[in-house]
């Protein structure tokens, strides 16, 4: 039973953490490179690269944007698509599939959203920067899990599951905030048109049908309509992900027996010294691939396929393109805005996560993760203050007409995320691992 539990739960979580952790290291490296590049003698090339115009024309139609715009409104749609897949999986099968399981991550996430917003608004007296209220509400799961991974056996696997579920709820709230409060001049006709392909995908997903080229074509159409509508196109990524079926409408037993039959015939074929497959062997292998595609979960397949791209490429490129703050203009920065964001990330996140988690436990509607102590939750509360990716993303939307405020916000995000991450790391480092935790982590590897 224990071995089965490790196979179904511990190993997948360990693999997820490993991907996110290395992705966090790449993310940090990309941010450092961006800062050095933007403040080096080659700073002009940094600005020129991300402001390079890229587009295409088709008849009278013309679409052209800066490279930075394509990263934030194009590549980041895939990032949000993966978030949408994770949200759906957790709601249907994971740590959010029942009220009892979901209560602690939901309470922690709500505390980690509302308390930082409250602190930011209480500190901020400048009406021009009030739009930045959404910046300190998000947690960067890649960075926070990377820090947890550095701690190894000192952190219970249940705590990593809690952080993952909490961050997914946190992302969901951030996405809703972007859709409702950081979208302007909405073209409702474009939104209405986008509902047609979205409805088709929702129907296919409900019936359990998955055709990747249909999803790709309709997904691009939905993204384009959102791009022209005024609602941020990353929301399209979330909505498309929610239509992906978790399982296909197929005869599982029939397909598996067919695969077994084909595999047996391949094994029993006369041995050949030729490195080239025969036409019959190629056809048999093609049949196995086709049948396996019918039985695998589309949601799981897409999440697995895109997760590495997001962690290892998209997020580092986002950091490289957005983290290049020019410090020779430091005299023009709004240090009040920077400090308010930093304080909200460091203290707001921790106070919110810890107090709301404690409240949920005291009310009897939730329990701390197994092997976790209150000090673990305190450490996680500080790690939740590592905002970075989503915080920078929101800052670009909040202050899209002011580069000065964008840079000030990013300075606050850097300072707040760094301090919060270090405090969380040292709190959790002071904890001693239990024998059971150490054994679970060892089994996962």
pLDDT at residue 163 tops 60: yes
Q: How far does Cα 58 stand from its chain's mean position?
A: 34
pLDDT digits 0-9 by tens, 66-98: 898 898 888 888 988 988 888 888 888 877 777
pLDDT digits 0-9 by tens, 380-415: 999 999 988 889 889 988 998 888 899 899 899 989
Averaged pLDDT, 149-169: 78
Which residues, 6 or more positions from 418, have their beta carbon under 8 angstroms from its beta carbon?
none
Q: What percent of the chain has a predicted confidence (pLDDT) above 90?
A: 30
Long-range contacts of 396-403 (CB under 8 A, 24+ apart): 396/72, 396/322, 397/178, 397/182, 397/232, 398/131, 398/132, 398/133, 398/134, 398/135, 398/182, 399/129, 399/131, 399/132, 402/128
DSSP letter assigned to residue 143: H
In 144-172, which positions are buried (b, 16+ CB within 10 angstroms) versus exposed (e)? bbbbbbebebbbbbbbbbbbbbbbbbbbb
pLDDT tier at 276, thresholds 50, 70, 90:
low
pLDDT at residue 342 tops 90: yes
Could you give phi then psi for residue 248, rounded to 5 degrees?
Answer: -90, 155
Taking alpha carbons only, the member of 142, 117, 147, 89 closest to residue 304 is 89
Tokens of 281: 């062997």
At residue 130, the pLDDT reads 93
pLDDT tier at 441, thresholds 50, 70, 90:
very low
Q: What percent of the chain has a predicted confidence (pLDDT) above 70?
A: 80
CA distances from 395 to 168, 346, 411 (A): 20, 17, 11
Lowest mean pLDDT segment, chosen from 73-87, 305-319, 325-339, 357-371:
325-339
- Give the angle subtended at the CA of 391 by the CAs of 104 and 167, to the nearest 5°: 20
Q: How far apart are the first and last CA of the chain?
A: 18
- Under a CB-based contact definition with an 8 Å cutoff, are residues 235 and 80 in contact? yes
pLDDT tier at 300, thresholds 50, 70, 90:
confident
């Amino acid at each position: 039973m224990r071995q089965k539990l490790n196979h179904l739960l511990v190993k997948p979580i360990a693999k997820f953490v490993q991907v996110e952790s290395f992705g966090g290291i790449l993310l940090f490296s990309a941010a450092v490179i961006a800062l050095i590049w933007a403040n080096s003698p080659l700073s002009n090339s940094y600005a020129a690269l991300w402001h390079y115009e890229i587009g295409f024309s088709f008849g009278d139609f013309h679409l052209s944007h800066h490279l930075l715009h394509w990263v934030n409104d194009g590549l980041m749609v895939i990032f949000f698509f993966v978030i949408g897949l994770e949200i759906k999986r957790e709601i249907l099968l994971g740590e959010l599939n029942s009220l009892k399981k979901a209560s602690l991550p939901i309470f922690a996430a709500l505390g980690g959203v509302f308390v930082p917003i409250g602190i930011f608004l209480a500190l901020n007296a400048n009406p021009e920067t009030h739009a930045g209220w959404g910046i300190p509400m998000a947690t960067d799961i890649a960075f926070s899990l990377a820090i947890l991974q550095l701690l190894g056996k000192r952190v219970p696997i249940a705590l990593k599951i809690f952080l993952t579920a909490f961050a997914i709820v946190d992302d969901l709230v951030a996405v809703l905030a972007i859709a409702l409060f950081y979208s302007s001049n909405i073209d409702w006709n474009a939104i209405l048109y986008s509902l047609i392909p979205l409805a088709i995908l929702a129907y296919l997903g409900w019936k359990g049908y998955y055709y990747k080229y249909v999803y790709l074509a309709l997904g691009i159409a939905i993204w384009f309509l959102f791009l022209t509508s005024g609602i941020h196109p990353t929301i399209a990524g979330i909505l498309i992900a929610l239509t992906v079926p978790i399982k296909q409408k197929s005869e599982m037993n029939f397909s598996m027996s067919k695969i077994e039959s084909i595999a047996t015939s391949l094994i029993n074929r006369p041995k050949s010294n030729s490195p080239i497959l025969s036409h019959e062997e190629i056809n048999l292998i093609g049949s196995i691939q086709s049948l396996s595609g019918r039985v695998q979960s589309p949601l799981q397949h897409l999440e697995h396929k895109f997760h590495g791209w997001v962690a290892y490429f998209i997020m580092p490129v986002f950091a490289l393109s957005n983290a290049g703050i020019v410090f020779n203009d430091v005299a023009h920065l709004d240090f009040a805005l920077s400090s308010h964001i930093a304080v909200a990330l460091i203290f707001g996140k921790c106070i919110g996560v810890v107090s709301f988690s404690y409240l949920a436990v005291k009310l009897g509607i939730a329990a701390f993760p197994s092997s976790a102590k209150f000090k673990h939750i305190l450490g996680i509360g500080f790690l939740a203050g590592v905002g970075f990716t989503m915080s920078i993303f929101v800052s670009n939307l909040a202050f899209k007409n002011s580069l000065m405020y964008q840079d000030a916000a990013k300075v606050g995000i850097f300072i707040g995320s760094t301090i919060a991450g270090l405090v969380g790391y040292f709190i959790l480092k002071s904890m001693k691992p239990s024998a059971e935790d150490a054994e679970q982590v060892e089994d996962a590897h």
